[in-house]
Amino acid sequence: MSDPLNSPIVRHSPSTGAGSPDVWGIYEPDTGSIQYICADPATKKAALIDVVWNFDPKNYKFTTESMDQVLDLVKEHGLSVEWVLDTHPHADHVMASAHLKERTGAPNAIGALVPEIAKIWADLYNLPNAFDPDRDFDHLFEEGETFNIGELDAKVMLSPGHTLGSITYVCGDAAFVHDTLMQPDAGTSRSDFPGGKTAELWDSIQDILALPGNTRLYIGHDYGTDDRKEPMWEATVDEHKAKNIHVKDGTKREEFIERRQKRDATLSLPNRILAALQINLRGGRLPPAEDDGNHYLKLPVNRFD
């Protein structure tokens, strides 16, 4: 019997009515990432959110099966891509942003504080002039900024904690909350990367949980649990408030911070982080080719515990 956590899975969450998007979640098994298509049912205009450029950390080889799968779904459902969006510079997968921009012609975007993240990592890599998000993304979204996906209204919430510049996209009754919450039975995401802060993660989650109770929250990752092998990625605000093991109603801020920091202290760095950040802070582009025509990454040694 196949293991669902090691298989690609696609699920459609249909629009619930006027102002509500169709959402497709596409599970990427190598990193436990969920990629999203958020589409206006009326115009068939869509945004692609947090799509993966597949990377083998053993052989340092890139392939495109995940973005191909997403674009095949776009074609299958007669959609046209209006935005290529990321919620933050991911540490555990390489973003497909630059490739999707080239393949669809749609602008790519991320949060306005990503240049501050880039400064942290430019120092860690000792690459002072390597990263320029203003150059590599077409738009940097500010807190509270609004935009459209077809005829649907969307807005941006600054959601720091996992990173200092993570953002949430809210479109009707769908919110793409990235690495803040996990599924209710798994809790929340880590906050120990450079620039991350547990107290800010708590505040960001409280802002998300202040959305209407029927808002569908779409998370960035799922790794299953001891009791649940099937990957999941959608739950409502009300479900999180009732059942989330880290932040359900009645949880105290100090209790959450202590529990989250204790858990984070046991976690290793993701095995793709030192490659991924160097590429993601370039908008999903490799460093420029050297004189032999090949691309090379720089890896800091003894910079992390």
pLDDT in the model for residue 182? 97
pLDDT in the model for residue 12? 98
- CATH class, domain 4-280, is alpha beta
The band of 134, judged by pLDDT with boundaries at 50, 70 and 90, is very high
pLDDT tens profile 83-122: 999 999 999 999 999 999 999 999 999 999 999 999 999 9
What the block records as the tokens of 15 is 């629009």
Average pLDDT of span 284-289: 97
Contact 180, 158 (CB under 8 A): no
Task: Check residue 182 and give left, alpha or beta (phi > 0: left; psi -120 to 50: alpha).
Answer: beta
pLDDT in the model for residue 213? 98
Contact 119, 147 (CB under 8 A): no
CA 102 to chain centre: 20
pLDDT in the model for residue 54? 98
pTM listed for this prediction: 0.96
Share of the chain above pLDDT 90, in %: 96
pLDDT in the model for residue 7? 66
What burial letters (b/e) apply to 202-238, b meaning 16+ CB within 10 Å? bebbeebbebeeebbbbbbbbebeeeeeebbbbbbbe
Q: Is the pLDDT of residue 16 over 50?
A: yes
Alpha-helical segments (H) within 141-252: 198-209, 237-243
Measured CA to CA in angstroms, residue 127 lies from 118, 120, 244 at distances of 10, 10, 40
pLDDT tens profile 184-223: 999 999 999 999 999 999 999 999 999 999 999 999 999 9
Q: Is the pLDDT of residue 279 over 80?
A: yes
Which residue's entry shows tokens 């619930």? 16
Average pLDDT of span 141-167: 98
Average pLDDT of span 226-244: 96
Q: Is the pLDDT of residue 2 over 60?
A: no
Q: Is the pLDDT of residue 303 over 50?
A: yes
The band of 24, judged by pLDDT with boundaries at 50, 70 and 90, is very high
The band of 5, judged by pLDDT with boundaries at 50, 70 and 90, is low
Average pLDDT of span 279-300: 97
pLDDT in the model for residue 1? 44
Give the mean pLDDT of the chain: 96
pLDDT tens profile 34-89: 999 999 999 999 999 999 999 999 999 999 999 999 999 999 999 999 999 999 99
Q: Is the pLDDT of residue 265 over 90?
A: yes
From edge to edge, which strands make up the β-sheet containing 152-158? 146-149, 152-158, 167-171, 174-178, 216-219, 234-236
